[in-house]
Structure 1
Amino acid sequence: MAWEEWEQLKAQAADPRHSTRMQLNQYVAAPGGGGDTKGDLVVGHKDLEAVGKAAHDLFDDFTNYSGHARVASESAAGGLKGEGFALGGALEHVTERWNEQARTLLDACAHISNHLRYTKNQHAADDSYIAGAVSSIATLDEGFDNRRGY
């Protein structure tokens, strides 16, 4: 790189119209100077509860309705197969696949509901731990202040 080229690049970098600024350890401010943004994802307890409840309701409802469909399909497949219809074997195959897919969906719903319940409990435990740690620090500070005679 020639000296003139280096000087030109330095001048361009210093030009406020072409300036690229580095930002360390902060979230890019919102246009208009809104200083309230922190850049963290915020999800309220109500949001998590709604998702967990929807997953739990889907689990309950789907268990009920898919159970009726399973019993009816197995009965129909058995009847058709017993009468010698090839359709009975095909319906039996479809019923088996349906049951596998239904179990997969139910497992996913249970996983979502259980994970959100666990997350809620874990956050409550973390909040309790942090509150205890902070109050311990405040008590320790108070003890030092008392010792100094403040």
Structure 2
Amino acid sequence: MAWDEWERLKAESAERNTTHMRLNGLDDGNGGRGGAGTGSESGTRGDLRVSQKSLAALGDAAYQLFGHLERDGKHAKAASASAATGLKADFDVGRALSHVVDRWEAQVRTVLDACAHISNHLEYSNTAHRKDDEHALTAISKISELDAGFDDRDQRR
């Protein structure tokens, strides 16, 4: 978001005399928060949603890319390095080819690192969110047990 856009949004909000700005949701046109399933575009507006299945698929794709790139990204290194060494003595292209081999290796390592980071981060996120969900479920279960206890006490009076 550009600074001038931010300033325009603040001014529009001040004109409506609102007491706060909402940056984490869509306005449904009635001053309320829009969400998925609101409006005529059901499921296309509102909060970001992601499933564990889609996270797992992204993590798997990154892991597979890592494996293929690690194997296939280096297969021409030996032949290219050998050719560069042989050509260096007589031609400038040997030095250039050696430079290309070095740059290629650096780029392959960079992409491998990125794939590993993506895969590891998605696995971590999946585990962390699963633990958060379990914690929330446990807390809600305890609240319902507590409510039931109060209901039993009220019925005994």
Spell out, residue by residue over 1:97-120, the C-alpha distance to the aligned partner (whole angstroms, 9 max, x if none): 111111111111111111111111
Instruction: Tell me how far 1:65 sits from its aligned partner.
Output: 0.8
CA RMSD of aligned residues (A): 2.4
The match for 1:41 is 48
Q: How many pairs align?
A: 127
TM-score, length-scaled by structure 1:
0.73
What is the percent sequence identity of the aligned residues? 46
| C-alpha separation in 2, matches of 1:104 and 1:123 | 28
Q: Which of 1 and 2 has higher RCO (CA within 8 Å, sep 6+)?
A: 1
2:106 aligned with 1:103: no
The match for 1:66 is 73
| C-alpha separation in 2, matches of 1:46 and 1:143 | 38
User: What are the ranges of 5 or more consecutive residues in structure 1 without an aligned counterpart?
Assistant: 1-20
The match for 2:86 is 79
| C-alpha separation in 2, matches of 1:140 and 1:38 | 37
SS in structure 2 of the partner of residue 67 of structure 1 = coil
User: What are the ranges of 5 or more consecutive residues in structure 2 without an aligned counterpart?
Assistant: 1-27
| C-alpha separation in 2, matches of 1:78 and 1:141 | 79
For residue 140 of structure 2, what is the amino acid of its counterpart? V
TM-score, length-scaled by structure 2:
0.70
- Give the number of the structure whose alpha-carbon radius of gyration is greater: 1
Kindly report structure 1 stretches of 4+ aligned residues shifted beyond 6 Å. Answer: none
